[in-house]
Amino acid sequence: MQKVFLLLLLVGATLIGCQKESNDESQKPQAELSEGSESTSGQPKTPKTKIIYETVQIQAEQNFYLNSATHLGFGSKTRTVIPLEIPKNAVKVFYTVAVTEAKTPIKNLRLAAQLSSLLLDPTGITSAIASKIEVPEQGTSGRADFYLLDYKNQSKFLAKTDFQYFIIGSRESLKNGVIEISENTIRQIGNNLYIGVKNPCTTTGEMITFEAAAVIKKEITVYEQF
């Protein structure tokens, strides 16, 4: 009787061991499947270089008065030079002008703000940006000359001697508008440009509002998951 009892215990232990092993085997594929799922969801992202364009204000909006040649007094002048320090990664430079004979200046050119808004367009820098920038104007007429100069010629301009200027980036007898300077012109002159401003009128002074901004190109790294 004791032998039969021991035999039953041995058979029971064997059955329990087999069942446990079977359960372990059935759970193993589930563990492997779960591990594979975590690997897929945690797949590393791929770095990619992307080009973006941003606006940098070079000269904040400013107002100045240029006298006429026949009304010059102490400290007054008929011409001036505005220096522009161009960022190294600039692809375009714009300056906006508004001229009036009134002593009250034209305000709110908003060149940099308008450029930033226009660069949100998917076509970006390829669009005719200058034609889309709005320039405020007043009823009183006024005209001025604007010359794009290098360092050597800006001093000649101020000295009222013969000077040379770059046609691209210059305007004569301009009331208001947006002038664009291309990347090729920037490379030709360098990163220090000068805008010579002259009152061509011999009898009337001019109040001038000026602002300049550059469009720069930047390369950034973005990460995309496939």
DSSP state of 71: G
Tens-place pLDDT, residues 137-186 = 776 689 999 999 999 999 999 999 999 999 999 999 999 999 999 999 99
Residue 16 lies in a domain: no
Residue 225 lies in a domain: no
Rounded Cα–Cα distance for residues 198 and 62 (Å): 16
The tokens for 182 are: 């291309």
In a domain, 14, yes or no: no
What residues are paired with 84 via a beta bridge?
A: 193
Which tokens in the block code for residue 21?
A: 């092993």
The CA-based angle 94-98-102, given to 5 degrees, is 165
For residue 179, the surrounding DSSP H or E stretch is strand 176-182
Tell me if 115 is assigned to some domain. Answer: yes
Does residue 180 or residue 130 have the better pLDDT? 180
Domains of the chain: total: 1
Please give the helix or strand (H or E) that residue 105 lies within, else none. none
- This prediction has a pTM of 0.75
Give the pLDDT of residue 190: 94
Question: Quick check: 98 pLDDT over 50?
Answer: yes
Number of Cβ within 10 Å of residue 110's Cβ equals: 17
pLDDT digits (tens, 9 = 90+) for 1-47: 444 444 444 445 454 454 544 455 444 443 333 333 344 456 677 88
For residue 60, give the 3-state DSSP assignment. strand
Q: What is the CATH number of the domain that holds 168?
A: 2.60.120.230
* Residue whose C-alpha is closest to residue 92's, from 128, 117, 141, 50: 128
Does residue 128 form part of some domain?
yes
pLDDT of residue 17: 52
Segments forming the whole domain that contains residue 153: 50-220
226 found inside a domain: no
